[in-house]
Amino acid sequence: MKRALSMIAVVACVTLLFSAQVWAQPGGPAGGNRGAAGGMRGGMMMRGRGVMGDWKVTQEFNGMQMESILSFSRNQEGMTGQWIGMMGVNDLSDIEFADGQLTFKRTMQGFGGGEPMVSTFKGTLSEDGELTGTMTMTGGPQGNMEMPIEAKRMPRMPRTAGVWAMTMSFGEQEIPFTLTISANDEGQPTGKWVSEMGEAKVSNIESSRNGVNFDVASEGGEFQWEAAFEGTVAGNEITGTVSSEMGEIEVTGQRKGADLIGTWNLNVTSQMGERKQRLVINPDLTALYDATAIKNVKIDGDELSFDVNMGFGGQDFTMSFKGKVADSKLTGELSSDRGTQTVTGTKVASRFMGMGGRGRGN
C-alpha cells in the first residue's frame, strides 16, 4: 500500500529520480497518448523534409561493413551535402533531389597523392523514409566499382535535450539532482533523473519546442510516491515545478557543456598531412567523431576529453582526445600508439534548435 509522504519527504525522495533519456517530439496532450500523437506528427515532418538532415550510411567494402554519415543542408546558394567517414569529410557536388530520386557526386583525394577518385550516387527515398541506391566509383586502385548503399535518417535532438544540473528548492533547503533529456535509437523520448539518493521511473514524457513534461514515481523502498514535472527551457536554463498531492516544489537548472555542444568542423594534422573531420557533441553529451560513437566523453568547464575506437582491415586502435574551447575555437590533440595529431576546430551554427541558431536540416 502506498504511504503518503510529508512534503519534506517528497523533496528528498524526488531527488532520487530520473534515469532514462529524452528525445523530443512535438507536444501533445498530457497522458499516455501524447507519445503516439507526437510520433505520428514527427513521421509526417520527416517525410516533408525530403533528404535534409543526417543519414547513417552502411556499405560493404572488401567484405567489411563500413558506416558513414551523409549530411544535407541548405545555404543561400541552395542544397549542400557532405560525406563524413573515417577518411575525413568530403563535400558533395551536383546534388539533385526530385520526386524521391537523389543523385550526387563525391570526390576523394587519391591514395598516395594519386588521381582523385570520383563516386557517383543514384538512389531513391522510399515512402517509409529509407534511402537506398548504388555508389559507382571511378579512378580507384581497383578500377571501377559499384557498391550498394543503405541509409537511415538519424533522429533529431529536441530543444529541451541536455544534461541539466538541477536544484530543487524547499524553503532554505536546496537539493541537487541531474536531469538528462535525450532519445533512444527509434527517436522516442526518454528521461533520466538521478541524485545521491538513487533513481526514479520517468514516464509519459512530452517534449515541445520550449518545454518538457513527464510523470515520475518511486520504484521501490519503504515509501511509494508519484509526482509530475512541468518545465520551461529558455536558452541553457530550465525552470519548472514538481507537483504531487502534497503541493508544488520549484526547480531550476543549467545545461551542462553548453559551450561545447554543437557541430565542430575540424582540421586534423599529422605527418601524413591535413584532413577535414567532423565532431558532433549532442546536448545529452553523447557524441560522434566522423560516424563513430565516442566513449568516455568528459566536459570540465572549457575542457573536453574523449576516447574513440577506430578499426579498419581487422586492425583496431583507440585514439584519445584532450583539448579546450576558447572564443568558439577548439584546440587539442588526438593521441594513440600510432602517434599524435593536432586538432583545431570551429563550431558551426548549432544543429539543435533553441541552442543559438538553425542547424543542419532544421
Tell me: do 237 and 303 sit in the same domain: no
Q: What CATH number should be reported for the domain holding residue 50?
A: 2.40.128.30
Which residue, of 153, 174, 189, is where some domain finishes? 153
Which residue, of 100, 132, 153, is where some domain finishes? 153
d(CA 182, CA 235): 17
Tell me: do 62 and 141 sit in the same domain: yes
Confidence (pLDDT) at 332: 97
| 58-62, 150-154, 338-342: range with lowest mean pLDDT | 58-62
* Joined grid coordinates for residue 144: 571501377
**Residue 355 or 251, more confident:** 251
Mean pLDDT value across residues 208-221: 84
Q: 287 lies in a domain?
A: yes
Q: Residues of the chain with pLDDT > 70: what percent?
A: 77
Tell me: do 133 and 162 sit in the same domain: no
Tell me: do 67 and 105 sit in the same domain: yes
Q: What CATH number should be reported for the domain holding residue 194?
A: 2.40.128
User: How does pLDDT run across 156-177, given as a tens digit for each residue?
Assistant: 887 889 999 999 887 788 889 9
* Model confidence, pTM: 0.78
Concatenated DSSP letters for 155-172?
PPPPTT-EEEEEEEEETT
From the list 276, 348, 22, the residue with the least C-alpha distance to 158 is: 22
Tell me: do 326 and 275 sit in the same domain: yes
Domain that holds residue 87: 44-153
Q: Give residue 144's region: left, alpha or beta (phi > 0; psi -120 to 50).
A: beta
Tell me: do 49 and 134 sit in the same domain: yes
Q: 37 lies in a domain?
A: no
Confidence (pLDDT) at 141: 58
Round the average pLDDT of the chain to a whole number and report it: 79
User: How does pLDDT run across 302-360, given as a tens digit for each residue?
Assistant: 999 999 988 665 678 899 999 999 988 999 999 998 899 999 999 986 544 333 333 33
Q: How many domains does the chain have?
A: 3
From the list 192, 203, 206, 193, the residue with the least C-alpha distance to 158 is: 206
Q: 343 lies in a domain?
A: yes
Which residue, of 153, 187, 206, is where some domain finishes? 153
